[in-house]
A = this chain, B = another copy of it.
Amino acid sequence: MEILVDNFKDFEQRDRANFVNCLSGFKSLCLVGTKDSHGNENLAPISSVFHLGANPALMGMIFRPHSTPRHSLENILESKFFTLNHVNESIVKNAHQCSARYDKNESEFDMSSLSADYQNEFFAPFVKESNLKIALEYVEHQTLEVNNTVLVIAKVLFVYMPSEALREDKSVDIEKAGTITVSGLDCYHSTQEIVRLSYAKKDKKLREL
């Protein structure tokens, strides 16, 4: 039975957050790896990463209002370099644990039993247990006046991935890389490919790739 939900403004705060967080559909799930100038590492799950453009290769992401300490955001603004590490099923609980509030000198790597990995002389730590890891450089940020969330835009520098995940057309089979997805605040999902479809044109039948 179909229901109309138009009273969510009256939900109590936690219920309202549960509800609205689910509406945007399935979300990207990455761990943001950062480091401050004292060498303190930070790792945090983020589900608001989105594609912004291919040339230049840009990603956007949203951070919650900077009214309480946001170590990842602060480290990105300070050091300009960070990593995004796709989460796979074998580290889903470790990734979720990284959302707990830790002090700045406590590394979420240690707290969640994940391994910081430094590669290619890059400043920020990668997550060893992730199969698809991206090195990024900060480009710009702005506070969105509408609700004080912070939009960060960053440039892709290089990527580590399993060789078998890179298709001939240079698209990436992220399912083969084990990447999972998240809905709402706490629900994790693996995926099953349905179909790849050819570029859509007017008056032309779609082909399955």
Q: How far is the CB of A174 from chain B (nearest CB, A)?
A: 5
Given contacts A24-B28, A25-B30, A29-B25, contact A197 B189 (CB under 8 A): no
Interface size on A, residues (CB 8 A): 111
Give the oligomeric copy count: 2
Residues on B with beta carbons closer than 8 Å to the beta carbon of A183: 172, 174-175
Residue of B nearest to A15 (CB): B170
**Is the pair A19, B171 in contact by a Cβ cutoff of 8 Å?**
yes
A:109-134 near B, CB below 8 Å = 111, 119-120, 132, 134
**In chain B, what residue has the closest Cβ to A135?**
B6
Interface residues of A, dominant DSSP: mixed
Residue A137 at the B interface, CB < 8 A? Answer: no
Shortest beta-carbon distance from A171 to chain B in Å: 4
A21 to B25, CA, bound (A): 18
C-alpha spacing A28/B61, complex, angstroms: 14
- Can you identify 6 A-B contacts, CB atoms within 8 angstroms? A3-B162, A14-B169, A20-B54, A23-B172, A24-B50, A181-B181
Interface residues of A (CB under 8 A from B): 1-6, 8-9, 11, 13-30, 47-60, 62, 84, 86, 89, 92-93, 96-102, 111, 119-120, 132, 134, 139-140, 144, 146-147, 149, 151, 153, 156-164, 166-167, 169-175, 179-181, 183-202, 204, 206, 209
